[in-house]
């Protein structure tokens, strides 16, 4: 069995399509999506509607949760805009601009997503408990970075009884095998990767017939220059600054 785990699509149609094509080429049986589907890219309706389509076609083979920026969209207000602008004016303005185009039914879809899920997989000789979170088991917006110590990650995930915790949010892929035996994997970002090459990243969990499993990050090439150009041309204040985040 192969499961693709994706996160942080951020309205980037070109990156999402490239990753979905790679998932198809790798013959994955399931897809788990860890949220941040729409905000601050260039085609938020497309990426939401693609997730809805996958959910319809794949049923329980497609699991999806809500990210923190999905919650921003679901609960948008002028007060929220001002709060986000205190940290990042370009991101706040990108959200405000997205709200002009997002369909009400797509916003409702994001609003109805759970913040996390526990998925139990029974396959061959193995039962795996997999926890899907956006930031961490404790908070939707908590960061699990590559440079954290094992002790720090153990503390962040101490209340989780999962065998594997999959997360995103930081846009930086990494993984930890803790002394407790728990695996904690940040799958990276599809739509706005923070690795040096700015390539879309996702993970594949492969469960073998003997019950063992492997987790591999996949790095996908795509036309990031075109995406940067499109976002710069959206025209809101800070769009040019945001566009630079897509370039190495």
Confidence of residue 210 (pLDDT cuts 50, 70, 90): confident
pLDDT for the residue numbered 79:
97
Average pLDDT over residues 217-228: 98
pLDDT tens track for 82-140:
999 999 999 999 999 999 999 999 999 999 999 999 999 988 778 999 999 999 999 99
Gap between the Cα atoms of 182 and 160, Å rounded: 9
Neighbours of 99 (CB within 10 A): 15
Percent of the chain at pLDDT > 70 equals: 100
Nearest to 121 by CA among 176, 179, 164: 164
- What does the pLDDT read at residue 70? 98
- Model pLDDT for residues 195-204, shown as the tens digit of each residue: 999 999 999 9
Domain total in the chain: 1
Q: In angstroms, rounded to a whole number, what is the distance separating the alpha carbons of residues 232 and 181?
A: 45
Question: What is the domain-level CATH number for residue 211?
Answer: 3.60.21.10
Print the domain residue range for 138: 2-246
Tens-place pLDDT, residues 63-77: 999 999 999 999 999
**Could you report the per-residue pLDDT of 146-173, keeping only the tens digit for each?**
999 999 999 999 999 999 999 999 999 9
Alpha-carbon distance 121 to 1, whole Å? 10
Q: pLDDT at residue 209 above 90?
A: no
- The confidence score (pLDDT) of residue 123 equals 81
Above pLDDT 90, what percent of the chain? 95
Please write down the HEC assignment for all residues of the chain. Answer: CEEEEECCCCCCHHHHHHHHHHHHHCCCCEEEECCCCCCCCCCHHHHHHHHHHHHHHHHHHEEECCCHHHHHHHCCCHHHHHHHHHHCHHHHHHHHHHHCCCCHHHHHHHHCCCCCEEEEEEECCEEEEEEECCCCCCCCCCCCCCCCCHHHHHHHCCCCCCCEEEECCCCCCEEEECCCCCEEEECCCCCCCCCCCCCCEEEEEEECCCCCEEEEEEECCCCHHHHHHHHHCCCCCCHHHHHHHHCC
pLDDT of residue 34: 99
Q: Characterise 190 by phi-psi region: left (phi > 0), alpha (psi -120 to 50), beta (else).
A: alpha
The pLDDT score that the predictor gives to residue 125 is 77
Q: What pLDDT is attached to residue 7?
A: 99
pLDDT attached to residue 105: 98
Query: What is the residue-averaged pLDDT of the chain?
Result: 97
């Amino acid at each position: 069995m192969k499961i693709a785990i994706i996160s942080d699509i951020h309205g980037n149609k070109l990156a999402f399509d490239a990753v979905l094509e790679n998932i198809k080429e790798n013959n994955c049986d399931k897809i788990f999506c860890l949220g941040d589907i729409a905000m601050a890219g260039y085609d938020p309706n497309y990426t939401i509607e693609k997730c809805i389509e996958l959910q319809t076609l794949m049923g329980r083979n497609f699991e999806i949760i809500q990210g923190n920026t999905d919650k921003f969209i679901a609960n948008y207000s002028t007060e929220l805009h001002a709060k986000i602008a205190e940290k990042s004016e370009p991101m706040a303005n990108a959200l405000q601009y997205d709200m002009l185009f997002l369909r009400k039914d797509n916003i409702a879809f994001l609003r109805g997503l759970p913040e996390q899920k526990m998925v139990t997989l029974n396959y061959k000789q193995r039962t795996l408990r997999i926890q899907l979170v956006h930031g961490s088991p404790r908070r939707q917006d908590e960061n699990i970075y590559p440079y954290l110590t094992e002790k720090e990650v153990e503390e962040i995930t101490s209340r989780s009884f999962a065998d594997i915790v999959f997360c995103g949010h930081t846009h930086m892929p990494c993984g930890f095998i803790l002394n407790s035996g728990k695996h904690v994997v940040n799958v990276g970002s599809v739509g706005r990767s923070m690795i040096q090459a700015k390539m879309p990243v996702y993970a594949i969990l492969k469960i073998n017939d003997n019950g063992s499993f492997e987790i591999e990050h996949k790095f996908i090439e795509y036309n990031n220059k075109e995406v940067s150009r499109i976002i710069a041309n959206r025209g809101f204040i800070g769009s040019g600054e945001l566009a630079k985040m897509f370039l190495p």
